[in-house]
Amino acid sequence: MPIYEYECRVCGEEFEAFRGLFDKDSKVTCPMCGEKGPKRKISKTSTGGSPNKGNLSSPT
């Protein structure tokens, strides 16, 4: 299940929510003020790769 980032249009609270692919914006409410319909933010993607992209062999 993807994680989506949201920002409340009323109080400005930024939060994340696990949402199904087809439910990404339905029934999302701000955890601080309860406002419905927060703005979905553009998220950076994660590839899950290793930060060490060099040679994997040990030095000799």
User: In this structure, what token pair is assigned to residue 16?
Assistant: 């994340």
Buried b (16+ CB within 10 A) or exposed e, 15-48: bebebeeeeeeeebebeeeeeeebeeeeeeeeee
CATH number for the segment(s) 1-43: 2.20.28
Residues 5-43 have pLDDT tens digits of 999 999 999 999 888 777 766 789 999 999 998 998 877
What is the residue extent of each domain of the chain?
Answer: 1-43
Indicate the pTM of the whole model.
Answer: 0.64
Residues 39-60 have pLDDT tens digits of 988 776 655 555 555 555 656 6
